[in-house]
Structure 1
Amino acid sequence: MIITIDSLNRHKFGSVLDDMYRLRARVFQGRLGWDVNVQDGMERDEFDDLDPTHVVSLDDDGNVVGCMRLLQTTGPHMLADVFYSILDGEPPLRSSRLWEATRFCVDTARLSGGKSRNSISYVTSEVMIGAFEYAQKAGVLDAVAVIDPVMNRVLKRSGNAPYDYVGSAKPMGKVTAMAALMDCSDERIASIREFSDIRGNVFSSEEEVIALIAEKSRPKSDNCIPFRPAKGSSGELQDYFVQQLRDANSPEEIVAVRQLIEAVSGTLSDKSRQALRRFN
């Protein structure tokens, strides 16, 4: 499932962002050996302070398993300010309809091979679909990404081949870097979906993710009631909680349900909260 986190909703998803930064540290410093800034086990840079949009993939247990950062090119961005040698002296690309995609990674330790839902291939495609569909709705026409030859081959194999490149490939530390251009078109999105066999909506609502994270953070015990966030509206969450209260077989289970209701109460409508109070 995909959640997009930006300046408008980041206050709701601090724990998700922290897990995302930890994943980035494990991948970019730990696995790839990049010279990146890691503090307290989290990788962040100055571009994370510019209110980018983070496209984050979560598994069914609320773990961050993939991510990508989208940043406007009208201001500072990595191709203009870090990887500018790729441009061979040409001015950086700047347009409100061109975004930069960086810091893409997936959790290869947690994910499997193949094309199943919990596979590296699936999450890679899910993040790409989420990024392109989100950008498309924002009126963005193209994305530029600094990649290496390995990622270039991954993109080509997954129905997401760049349509062009900017400048020329340059050695950057242990890898070779190049700047690839990809259009945010229906055809590209359809091609990725065809490759990955992802047919439905990849986005989760904020309410679903908040409920999932609340369940993940709740202390586990023998009396915990398995929970998967209800799809859709506040009313459906209300129905779910009412059913859990009806099915509770002990005072401990009732307390567990009430704790979960309290944890996600901010996502419920006033009407739903009042109904649950009456039920209690």
Structure 2
Amino acid sequence: MIIVIDGINQHKFSDVLDEMFKLRARVFGDRLGWEVNIKDGRERDMFDDLNPTHVVSIDDDGEVVGCMRLLQTTGPHMLADVFNSILDGEPPLRSTQVWEATRFCVDTKKLGRGRGKNSVSYVTSEVMIGSFEYAKTAGVLDSIAVIDPVMNRVLQRSGNAPYDYLGTAKPMGKVVAMAAMMDCSEERISGIREYAGIEHDVFLTDEQAVARFARSNTAKPANSNHQPLTGLESYFVEQMHSARTKHEVEAVLKLIEALSDRFTPEQKFALLSTPRAFAHEA
């Protein structure tokens, strides 16, 4: 299912966005070998600081399995500022009714092949449907995307073929890049839905998305990735285990919160989930 995260509701979904940036790092950095900026296991660029819209797919387990970024073309965007050589000297499109779609990816390690609900094909179609339906509702007429020939073939065989291309394909690092145009029309959306067999509303409400993601994190054991604890983490774990009264536990929790800026969301969750062996105060 799809959650749309933008500048208005992003404060509710900082943890979802964090998982999305991790997915992007695994796909673009680790699997595809792109020259992208990865820091602390997360892939971000300057366009993520411009309050874009992120269309994120969350599976039934509450985990992020796909995403796409939508950005208006009236300001800075990748085709204008990074891939402008594709345009052969022509000025980039700039219109309130044309958005740029970038950073599309799915979790190929978690998702299977075929056409089932937990497949790469299904989640790809779901993200596309969510993106086009959201854009159409916002009054957008066209979407432009910088893609490679492999993605171009994926679009062509999934009821989502570009209707035109801008400039000419150019080598960009390890891949060939091309600028594809896709209309945000009911016909295109219907074609993708028919291909994927998706008839239902793909969108989660903010409340449903928060609840689904929270269930996923509640189910994860502390330090589930089995990474070595840092010195500060070890200290707090020891303090929590040694606490014997509610007052002592509350004191440890307050100190963790006070130093929360030093922990990743996963580390903080692990610490707060540490078993508390306190006795009831007399």
User: For the superposition of Structure 1 and Structure 2, which TM-score range results when normalised by the shorter chain?
Assistant: 0.7 to 0.9
Partner SS for 2:152: helix
1:198 aligns with 2:189: no
1:40 aligned partner: 40
Q: What's the CA shift string for 1:170-209, capped at 9, x where partnerless? A: 0001100000000000000000000000001000111111
1:21 aligned partner: 21
In 2: Cα distance, 1:115 partner to 1:20 partner: 23
2:151 aligned partner: 151
1:166 aligns with 2:166: yes
Q: What's the CA shift string for 1:10-34, capped at 9, x where partnerless? A: 0000010000000000000000000
Size of the aligned set, in residue pairs, is 221
Deviation at 1:109, TM superposition (A): 0.2
Query: Structure 2 regions of 5+ residues with no counterpart?
Result: 222-282
* 1:194–1:37 CA distance, 2 compared to 1 (3 A): same
What pairs up with 1:86-97 in 2 under 5 angstroms? 86-97=86-97
Letter of the 2:116 partner, please give it: S
Q: Cα RMSD (Å) of the superposition? A: 0.9
In 2: Cα distance, 1:177 partner to 1:128 partner: 20
Partner SS for 1:218: helix
1:274 aligned partner: none
Deviation at 1:213, TM superposition (A): 1.9
What pairs up with 1:173-188 in 2 under 5 angstroms? 173-188=173-188
Letter of the 1:132 partner, please give it: F
In 1: Cα distance, 2:207 partner to 2:94 partner: 35
TM-score by length of 2: 0.77
1:69 aligns with 2:69: yes
Deviation at 1:94, TM superposition (A): 0.3
In 2: Cα distance, 1:220 partner to 1:124 partner: 26
8 Å CA contact 2:62, 2:214 repeated in 1: no
In 1: Cα distance, 2:75 partner to 2:35 partner: 24
Deviation at 1:137, TM superposition (A): 0.3
2:121 aligned partner: 121
Deviation at 1:217, TM superposition (A): 2.1
Deviation at 1:220, TM superposition (A): 5.9
8 Å CA contact 2:147, 2:178 repeated in 1: yes
In 2: Cα distance, 1:214 partner to 1:84 partner: 41
2:260 aligned partner: none
Letter of the 1:19 partner, please give it: E
Q: What's the CA shift string for 1:84-123, capped at 9, x where partnerless? A: 0000000000000000000000000000000000000000
